[in-house]
Chains A and B, each alone.
Chain A
Amino acid sequence: MTEIPLLEVESLTRRYGRRIGCQDVAFTLWPGEVLGIVGESGSGKTTLLNCLSGQLPPSEGRVSYLTRDRGAVDIWEISEAQRRLLLRTDWGLVHQTPSEGLRMGVSAGANVGERLMAVGARNYGEIRTEALHWLDALEVDRGRVDEFPDAFSGGMRQRLQIARNLVTRPRLVFMDEPTGGLDVSVQARLLDLIRRLVSELSLSCVIVTHDLGVVRLLAHRLLVMRQGEVVEAGLTDQVLDDPQHPYTQMLVSSILPV
C-alpha cells in the first residue's frame, strides 16, 4: 500500500454570492481508491467535483494533488496552463452527457486519439493503433472507428468518452453521473466495464452520483452530501447497510426494492 495520498482536500468551500455551493469539505484520496459522492440534486456534489477537477475555483480551502514529477501541488496555485495540462494527461473527466466530453464534429477514432496528439504524439499509425486498443477495451466495435459520435447510441457514446479519457493513462478520473440517462440494461453493462477497468488499471476515481446502486458496485468509500456539507462518510457497504445520519437513513430507505 502506497502511503502518500494522491489528493488531499482541506476545508474546501465554494459560495455563489451568499448561497453555499459546498462548505468545509475535507478528505484524502489514496492511490487506487474509488470515492463515491452521493446526495440529492442540489446537495453540492457537482460543485465539489468541479472544484476538485480544476473547473471551478473554490472560495476557500486547498486541493492538493500528488503530481508525477513535482510532488504535491495545490491545483489552485499553479498556472491555468499547468492545470489544463493535468486535465489532458494525468486526469480524466467523464461528463454525464457524452456530447460535453466529445467533439461531435470528428470521428470516433479522432476523438480517442486527440488527447494523445495534445501531449505530442504525431505518428498517425501509432495514434490509430492506440485508439483502436481503447475502443476494444471499452467494447466498442473497432469497425466503427471512422464514424462520428452522432451515429452511436447513448451507451456507446459514453464508452467513447471514457476511451478518450483513458488513452493518456490517467491516474485520477472524475466522473459525474457516468451512467445517468442510460437504459437500465445499458447501465449495468457499462458499470461492470467501468468496475473492471478501474481495478485493472488501478485508477483512482471520484464519482458523483445520486444512484446508490452505482456506488455500491464501484466505490470503496462514500461521502454523503446534503445542503453543501458532508453529513456522513465511511466504507461504502457500512454507510449503505448501517447509515447513521438521519439524511442518509432517508436516502437509503427511499430506494425502491426490485
Chain B
Amino acid sequence: MTAISQDPSIMMEVKDLAKTFTLHAQGGTEIRALRGIDLEVRKGECLVLAGPSGAGKSTLLRCLYGNYLPQAGSILIRHEGEPTEMIGAEPRSILAMRRRTLGFVSQFLRAIPRVPTLELVMEPLLSQTVPKDEAESRSVSILRHLNVPEHLWGLAPATFSGGEQQRVNIARAMIFEYPIMLLDEPTASLDQENREAVLDLIASARDRGAAMIGIFHDQGAREAVATGVFTLSSRKEAA
C-alpha cells in the first residue's frame, strides 16, 4: 500500500527513483545521476533539496516535473484528489497534471516571441477557464508585487533585463495556486527587495497549503521558507 493512498495530506510520494543518463555520442557512457530516491511531501510543507553541486538536485526536480525520464521507480502525485503515477503516463496526462496540479518555477524564461508580459502571466489562468477580467486583475497584482514596472506590461519580455525576465517568469509560474510546486532557485540573482517579494509569495503559497520542493542556494531564503531538508549525496561514479 502506498502512503499517499492512506494519508490525504500527502501530495507527492516518490519511491526508489533512479535516473541514469546514457551519452550515446560518447561511447555510451552512463552517468548515474540518481539512485534509490524516496521522499514524500505534504500539504503546507516546503522541502528543500540540499547537497553539493552535481548531487542531482536539478535532475531530481526535472524528473518530478516529467521533463526528464527516470529509468525506475515511482512518482505518485495527488492530481484532482487521486494518487496518480507520473512515470509512464501519456504526454497528455502529464500536461493535464502540469496544467492543474504541478507548477514549476525555473531560473530561466523560455521567451515566447512577441507575447506581451501581461498576456504571458494571464495565460495559465485563461487555460483553466478563469474569466478574463479576473485573470487580468490577478496578473496586475502579482506583477505589482514583484515590482515589474507597469510600462513593461505591454511588451514581450525578450528585451528585458535578466532580473525583470526572472520576475515575469515567477509571476507566470505562481499566478495559479498549484497544489504542488517545484522551485529551481527562484531567488538566485535577485536583489534584496525582489528576493523578499518572491520569498513572500512562496511563504504564502506554502501557508495556503501548497506542497513544495525547492532548490535554494542562499541560506536566508532556506530559513524563510523551508519546513524540511532532503539531502542528496554527491554524484555516484560512472558505471
Contacts and interface: CB of A to CB of B under 8 A. Distances in A.
Interface string A190-208: 0110010001000000000
Interface extent on B, as a size class? 20 to 34
Contacts of A199: 127
A220 B92 contact: yes
Contact of B66 (A195, A238, A249): A238
A46 B149 CA distance: 47
B130 interface: no
Contact of A192 (B23, B24, B95, B114): B114
Contacts of B25: 246, 249-250, 253
Contact of A244 (B66, B69, B115): B69
Interface residues of A, dominant DSSP: helix
Given A192-B115, A217-B112, A235-B94, A246 B24 contact: yes
- The listed residue with most B CB atoms (<10 A of its CB), out of A191, A234, A237, A249, is A237
- The listed residue with most B CB atoms (<10 A of its CB), out of A242, A250, A253, is A242
Interface in A218-248: 220-221, 234-238, 241-242, 244-246
A191 B111 CA distance: 13
A104 to B, nearest CB: 29
Interface extent on A, as a size class? 20 to 34
Contacts of B69: 234, 238, 242, 244
A78 interface: no
A221 B114 contact: no
B68 A192 contact: no
Nearest to B22: A244
A137 to B, nearest CB: 16
Given A238-B69, A246-B25, A192 B91 contact: no
Given A249-B23, A249-B25, A235 B91 contact: yes
- The listed residue with most A CB atoms (<10 A of its CB), out of B67, B110, B127, is B67
B81 interface: no
B96 interface: yes
Nearest to A193: B114
A220 B113 contact: no
- The listed residue with most A CB atoms (<10 A of its CB), out of B91, B114, B127, is B91
Given A220-B95, A249-B24, A237 B67 contact: yes
A189 interface: yes
Given A241-B62, A250-B25, A188 B95 contact: no
Nearest to B115: A192
The 9 A-B residue pairs whose C-beta atoms are closest, nearest first, are: A246-B24, A188-B113, A221-B91, A235-B91, A242-B68, A192-B114, A249-B24, A192-B113, A242-B69
20 contacts: A30-B92, A192-B112, A192-B115, A216-B110, A217-B112, A221-B92, A234-B91, A235-B66, A235-B91, A236-B91, A238-B69, A241-B62, A241-B68, A242-B62, A242-B67, A245-B24, A249-B25, A250-B24, A250-B25, A253-B25
Given A238-B68, A246-B25, A253-B25, 8 more contacts: A33-B92, A189-B114, A192-B113, A195-B112, A221-B92, A235-B66, A249-B24, A250-B25
Interface of A: 1, 30, 33, 188-189, 191-192, 195, 199, 216-217, 220-221, 234-238, 241-242, 244-246, 249-250, 253
